[in-house]
Chains A and B, each alone.
Chain A
Amino acid sequence: MEKSRESFSAEVERTYAAVLERVSMVGIAAIAGAYLLYVLHALPLSVQVHDIAANWHLGADALVAKGLSPSGWSWVAGIGNADILSLAAIGLLTMTPVVCLAAASASFLSRKDYAYTIIGLLQILVLLVAISGVLTFHS
């Protein structure tokens, strides 16, 4: 076992951990803040809470068809509403691994670890494809 590889790996892991700690904290704070605005009705809602509750026994397709849940990236247009802001905050939290992977890939590249740089970049690409909705609406 190469000692240098072990210490390189530990450095990359520390980089990933540092980014993970900060970015996930931002995501969690965003969720808490957005949900507070949501439940306190501090901002307008795109869909009233009781409308959601009256239909949450229906599947996602049915809710989208009724206009009670956004499909694709259409929700961005309603970002000024508290419910959509909560959704955006959830989206922000789920972006955490993308940011961590970007930092890790840069770290692997700086250590000339090309195999893991490629794996890291491919992983980012997979996540970006999922986030873009390319597969979701063209499958």
Chain B
Amino acid sequence: MMRKGIGGVWLALGTMVLLVLPLLVSDAAFAAPVPPVSGVAWWVWVIALFVFSFFLGIIAVIAGVGGGVLFVPIVSSFFPFHIDYVRAAGLLVALSGALSAGAPLLKKGLANLRLGLPMALLGSVSSIFGALVGLALPSSFIQLTLGIVIIGIALLMFMSKRSAVPETVEPDCFSQMLGISGIYHDATLRREVPWNIHRTALGSLLFVFIGFLGGMFGLGAGFANVPVFNLLMGVPLKVAVGTSGLVLSINGTAAVWVYLLKGAVLPLIAIPAIAGMMAGSRIGAWLLPRFHPKSIRIVVIIILAIAGVRSLLKGIGV
């Protein structure tokens, strides 16, 4: 555990050096005129984005939320980047986080392909359309509706009760037809936990809607995937969280290509965000046992609410 943490610290320091190193290189670009919009040198924003993403990675892991849901409203509200690039970076942040965590979760049986693939298939189609609609709408409208959605997510997180291991449910005809069920070893409970799902049709419909929202706003959508799996369909919380990552890695891929082909992926913004988030996630995983997730969760809800209000105000030009 300790070695992992030290590795994470080294990773973070190494990445920071990597990003700061160019600043020591004498180049005309670094002495370039400051962009008129922000009044701050461009590289300051790039470094700030990395540092912000790094801390976000720590908080996201401890609070059990995806990075995208925090990244997009905060960066679009407080950084000078247009929301198009922030949404694309948000999707990439969520996607890279899910890809990093995916393999161990699959090996432990906490990410289930039989459960995830049908939902991802529906969600990925709608996420493409969500991205297309999002890029076609005026940015002020996107900023405004993003604010509303984020405030809604904060409320949802505040009110939702999670069920670690829901009561055993009676599988419906769809889940029986597709053979969606599973068994995983719960280290906390020290036993094998079998599970089935129900309300598959309604859950699938909701995944279409979640995919659309995720594509439109550049959110990973784990905030919505998990409650649908867990509270609606009866999936144990650990499997819901793991499978949510699998779903958003597929949905994120579908949506991010719309952004990439529309010229909305700027490596200058996206890569520091990805690097910061991944380094922070490693530290977050190490710190996780030392923190009380509930207290962090409250902090995240407050941050979300502030970011939502800020985004809403920015959308109406305040």
Contact = CB atoms under 8 A, between A and B. Distances in A.
Interface string B11-47: 0000000110110010101001101111000100100
Interface string B182-220: 110000000000101000000000000000000000000
Interface residues of B, number: 79
Given A57-B35, A72-B261, A130 B254 contact: yes
B36 A54 contact: yes
A29 interface: no
A-B pairs with lowest CB-CB distance, top 7: A53-B42, A50-B32, A86-B267, A69-B263, A17-B106, A60-B264, A39-B22
A48 B114 CA distance: 46
Contacts of A131: 257
A64 B263 contact: yes
Interface in A1-58: 1, 5-6, 9-10, 12-14, 16-18, 20-21, 24, 27-28, 31-32, 34-36, 38-41, 48-50, 52-58
Contacts of B258: 130, 135-136
Contacts of A80: none
Nearest to B139: A59
Contacts of B275: 32, 35
Interface of B: 18-19, 21-22, 25, 27, 29, 32-33, 35-38, 42, 45, 80-82, 84-85, 92, 95-96, 99-100, 102-104, 106-107, 109, 111-114, 117-118, 120-121, 124-125, 128-129, 132, 135, 139, 177-179, 181-183, 194, 196, 249-250, 252-271, 274-275, 278
A58 B35 contact: no
Contacts of A28: 96, 100, 278
A78 interface: no
B92 A17 contact: no
A67 B190 CA distance: 59
Contact of A54 (B33, B260, B262): B33
A84 B22 CA distance: 18
Contacts of A130: 124, 128, 253-255, 257-258
Given A71-B261, A71-B263, A40 B35 contact: no
A136 B96 CA distance: 23
Contacts of A87: 260, 265, 267
A64 B257 contact: no
Nearest to B83: A59
A31 B274 contact: yes
Contacts of A73: 261
A61 B263 CA distance: 7
Nearest to A93: B96
Contacts of B183: 1, 6
A88 to B, nearest CB: 10
Central interface residue in A21, A50, A71, by most chain B CB within 10 Å: A50
B114 A127 contact: no
A115 interface: yes
A94 B253 contact: yes
A16 B278 CA distance: 21
A36 B18 CA distance: 7
